[in-house]
Each structure stands twice: as C-alpha cells, then as structure tokens.
Amino acid sequence: MAMTNAEKQKRYRDKQKEIGKKEMRGYLSPEALECYRLITEQTNWSDSVILSNAVRLTYAAYKNGQIGLLNNWLNENDL
C-alpha cells in the first residue's frame, strides 16, 4: 500500500527524532532574512546547517562570556 505524503513526512520526522535531532521552527525578521540570504549565497548551506550553526555559535559566545558583546554588535549594526 502506498503511503500518503503526510505519512511519509511523519515517518521522516520520527526517524529524525530517533537519531536525536529536534525540529525548530520560527519566522525570520527582515534583518535576519537578509543575513540568511547572504549566508546561503556564500556557503550553499541548507536551512538545517544554518540553524544548527547559529545555535552552536550563540552557545559558544555564551560559554565564552561574549554573548553581551555579540548582542551589542547585532544591535549596533541593525542586525
């Protein structure tokens, strides 16, 4: 019996969860969308890689006491 598209998507999401991945969803501000466009043009990264790296870089800044510096830079540069 052929699976419906919804069943295929659920199966895919379930497999991703089984290997320890978590789906994250949200909406990008116009500033973030422009950053996203530039990143994809320069790196050819997928949405998943961009999101994973963004979270990892933010965590690295936090762990190294640089989260305030990073946030200030984003605010000063309208990003």
Global pTM reads: 0.75
Q: Report the C-alpha gap between 18 and 34 in whole angstroms.
A: 33
Minimum mean pLDDT range among 1-5, 58-62, 70-74: 1-5
Per-residue pLDDT tens digits for 16-63:
999 999 988 899 999 999 999 999 999 999 999 999 999 999 999 999
- Rounded CA separation 6/27 (Å): 23
